[in-house]
Amino acid sequence: MNGTIVVRPGRRLGLRSVDPGDTRGLSSRDEAGEQLASDLERLRELQQLLAADGRHALLVVLQAMDTGGKDGTIRHVMSGLNPAGCAVTSFKVPCAEELAHDFLWRIHRAVPPRGMIGVFNRSHYEDVLVVRVHKLVSEAVWKARYRQINEFERHLSENGVTILKFYLHISKAEQAERLRERIEDKSKNWKFAAGDLEERKLWSRYMAAFEDAVNRCSTPWAPWHVVPANKKWARDALIARAMVEKLESLRLRYPKPKTDLSKLVIR
């Protein structure tokens, strides 16, 4: 049970059936911390192997409600990686140039090259989440995007990009607590935005949009992982373990040297 909840293609998962406080078999913060430390060490080894192998890229997609833990995940799971081989892209409101292209244009530009790990803080899924909730485009437009996203991700996967998609699932009560903390803790005031409260009023709409996204866009080549995220220590350990397992499944290997090293003499 010690793992994320993988949304099986063709089987609908109701988010109400997932307890955001579930620790997925991790019994304590200490156990999770030990597992995380071990997996982060392994991740560093695998990152070097990924770069040396050169056949694959890893794209990690993080989606969540406001305060869901995207930044925290990046800070605690990705910060131990070699920055030379890891790039984080945060997708904000599209600029004029981006709006002049199709919605996937800016996404494709940020996809990591082979040998690299890329992390998306929000992603192309905003175009079936916030766009849907706020009715920025017609229903026909955003519904067509599920198919377009699946085809886009299939194209990436067939061209060496392995995709890991995590939905960080927190409860509405947990979000309220985190928002209060941002107001009360002066060191976190800068994180608070009044707009977060307006978005919170649309919680049920967002839950419906997230549920459709993880079900309609969970495919054999890019399944969604739902991560119960009320407990940050469990969230970090679960995501690190999933990343280790995915990279190990790629059967990465060091390339053979181009010259016979046994005949070289360094004087």
Compute, in degrees rounded to 10, the torsion defined by CA atoms 18, 170, 241, 106: 110
pLDDT tens digits, residue range 2-41?
799 999 998 999 999 999 999 999 999 999 999 999 999 9
pLDDT along the chain (267 residues), means of 10: 88 96 96 96 97 98 97 93 96 95 98 98 98 97 98 98 98 97 93 91 98 98 98 98 98 89 84
CATH of domain 5-252: 3.40.50.300
pLDDT of residue 22: 97
pLDDT of residue 256: 87
Indicate the SS3 state at residue 95: coil
- Give whole-number Cα distances, 30 to 22, 233, 266, in Å: 16, 9, 48
pLDDT of residue 79: 83
- Give whole-number Cα distances, 57 to 87, 129, 148, 158, in Å: 11, 26, 21, 11
pLDDT of residue 102: 97
Task: Give, for 90, the enclosing helix (H) or strand (E).
Answer: strand 86-90
What are 89's strand-pairing partners? 120
Residue type, 148: Q
Structure tokens at 177: 């607590």
Neighbours of 113 (CB within 10 A): 11
pLDDT of residue 259: 84
Do 228 and 21 contact (CB within 8 A), yes or no?
Answer: yes
* Interatomic CA distance for residues 232 and 75, integer angstroms: 12
pLDDT tens digits, residue range 236-265?
999 999 999 999 999 999 998 888 888 888
* Interatomic CA distance for residues 106 and 121, integer angstroms: 13
- DSSP letter for 100, please: T
pLDDT of residue 262: 81
pLDDT of residue 257: 84
- Domain boundaries of the chain, sorted by first residue: 5-252
pLDDT of residue 194: 86
pLDDT of residue 87: 96
